[in-house]
Structure 1
Amino acid sequence: MLVHVYGAYGLELNMAFSPDKRLLLERGWALAYCHVRYWTTIPRVNALTRKDWNRMLNYGDLLMFFRLKKAERPPPSLLLWSCPPIVYCTTSPSSHLGSVHMRLHHLCVHAGSFDHKSWSSPVGRLLNQQPQLVRAVTVQAPFLDVLGTMQDPSLPLTVEERGEWGDPLSSPQHRDNIATYCPCCNITPQRYPSMLITAYREDCRVPVSGVEKYVARLRAAVDTHSSVSMPKPEPDTHIILDLQPGGDHFGPEDFELSLCETARQIAFLHVELGLDQTAGHEEHQG
């Protein structure tokens, strides 16, 4: 199941058609849309009040969805249900989508909806607090070092974004609040899911230095956990940084390059989940 989630800047979740979604449908995936709080079906003033202090709400909504999805029977409000249960979560621009291909207790999260890039903070927090829920993750241009970015006024958008995130330099309360949900600040030695992280060298919205900082900390935590934990029959954790040229936060403008990027993400998920990438296509062609 491909689960789409959004929850930032008071923008609505993009539910538009895209070719990659059609491809997944043809190969047996189901699509679902999880409208976490901070969505503008409610008056915009409500979205504004959720800035900074209430970002925990969208993480709680995302976590609740995964817990309901794993229940033996879906609640009446859960319209889409995969059988056998397979889920995949995705986040879109400045938001949190996740695509999860789930077998029993294994989920696969994609932060970024292939054609859109991601904010990724709720997904990053989910991985820090409930990594056992997720099997594999792909993220595109993710905003994972929230605290480090907001403490560096030399970056292009830091001052402008203080109205959205708060100012940790002038307010200890803002700093403590950001530190509670910032993915980079809360990495601990434990078993994390495999991740494919795509970033762009000259991205002015999400500095690549923050992505590299997150990857370095995550790899160190994975290595520490592996060195002290008892051997278990678990798949290896692969943390892959796909660093691409260019400075567009929204990915390559060239169609073929964009297509290749999407193909890498889908292939990564299939490999990590041990799925046959050709079976569904051959059946469809037949």
Structure 2
Amino acid sequence: MDLNMNFKAENKLLVEDGWILAFCHVRGGGELGCSWHKQGILDKKPNGVHDLQACIKHIHQLGFSQPCYTAIMASSAGGVVAGALANSDPGLLQAMILEAPFLDVLKTMMDTSLPLTIEEEEEWGSPECNMEHYRSIESYCPYQNIRPQSYPSVLITAYENDQRVPLSGLLRYVNKLRMAAEQYCQSSDLPDSKKPNILLDVYPGGSHCDSLPWEESLQKVSMHLSFLHKELNLNGCKPSRDNL
């Protein structure tokens, strides 16, 4: 799935406020041609996770950011890469914003009654009838690989009537992630203040990544910016390279 590089007023606002925005074209996306896309499908899906990890580490090495000031935003299939990175290397991030993210890949691709399953077999595989595909998806699926550890905070936007990324899968993901975060804090004897905020915002009646009415769109952007400022501890100050 290609990144949407269209102009967004909220991105202009962030840049003017001192933020640094980076766009990572991971393998599996179509921005760099068919070959680039094919290097990130089926059993090569983890390549996209490795690419995102490499991009974030490079940004840190260049001095543009550090983990406590780093957040990622992803939508739809991009949620697989973001969610997998949160499992494999959560220390790279402080927060994630995910819109209609595909997080329960294995269960979704096992359900042939869903529209996504048949359409996307060439992309993800057929785990119901192919054990190699099953094991491959199981190895990186964000939902399947949640475990007790220190996770970044997460804000997920979901749509009630989404047929491509069912709300039920996101509810399962949020519940399992909250339980894992709770278990980690208890086993590490950490206070509740150290638990990540794991939030789910559901839009009634909406479908997959629907365009929202103007006022609701502004409210969503406002919520995202408020979430980022709180989780990156930026309230009352602007992000600056002097602080990095």
TM-score, structure 2 normalization: 0.89
Query: 2:181·2:195 contact (CA, 8 Å) conserved in 1?
Result: no
SS of 1:159's equivalent? helix
CA displacement at 1:271 relative to structure 2: 1.1
Task: Give runs of aligned pairs for residues 1-286 of structure 1, distance below 5 A.
Answer: 8=1, 11=2, 13-40=3-30, 42-45=32-35, 47-48=37-38, 50-71=40-61, 74=62, 82=64, 85=65, 102=66, 105-112=68-75, 119-231=78-190, 235-276=194-235
Runs of 4+ in 1 over 6 A off after TM superposition: none
Letter in 2 for 1:228: S
CA displacement at 1:37 relative to structure 2: 2.1
Q: Alpha carbons of 1:108 and 1:181: their partners in 2 closer, same or farther (altered >3 Å)?
A: same
Let me know the Cα RMSD of the aligned residues: 2.2
Letter in 2 for 1:22: K
SS of 1:24's equivalent? helix
Q: Deviations over 1:132-156 (max 9, x none)?
A: 1111111110100000100111222
CA displacement at 1:107 relative to structure 2: 2.2
SS of 1:143's equivalent? coil
Q: Deviations over 1:138-196 (max 9, x none)?
A: 11101000001001112222112112110001100000000111000000011111111
Provide the C-alpha distance between the structure 2 equivalents of 1:212 and 1:124, rounded to a whole number of angstroms.
Answer: 14
Query: 2:68·2:232 contact (CA, 8 Å) conserved in 1?
Result: no
SS of 1:192's equivalent? coil
Query: 2:48·2:81 contact (CA, 8 Å) conserved in 1?
Result: yes
Query: 2:185·2:195 contact (CA, 8 Å) conserved in 1?
Result: no
- Whose helix proportion is higher, 1 or 2? 2
Q: How many pairs align?
A: 238
Q: Percent identity?
A: 38
Q: Deviations over 1:43-90 (max 9, x none)?
A: 42552354212111111111111222222xx2xxxxxx63xx3xxxxx
Gaps of 5+ in 1: 1-7, 75-80, 86-101, 281-286
Gaps of 5+ in 2: 239-244
Q: Alpha carbons of 1:135 and 1:262: their partners in 2 closer, same or farther (altered >3 Å)?
A: same
Query: 2:185·2:192 contact (CA, 8 Å) conserved in 1?
Result: no
Query: 1:166·1:174 contact (CA, 8 Å) conserved in 2?
Result: yes
CA displacement at 1:251 relative to structure 2: 3.1
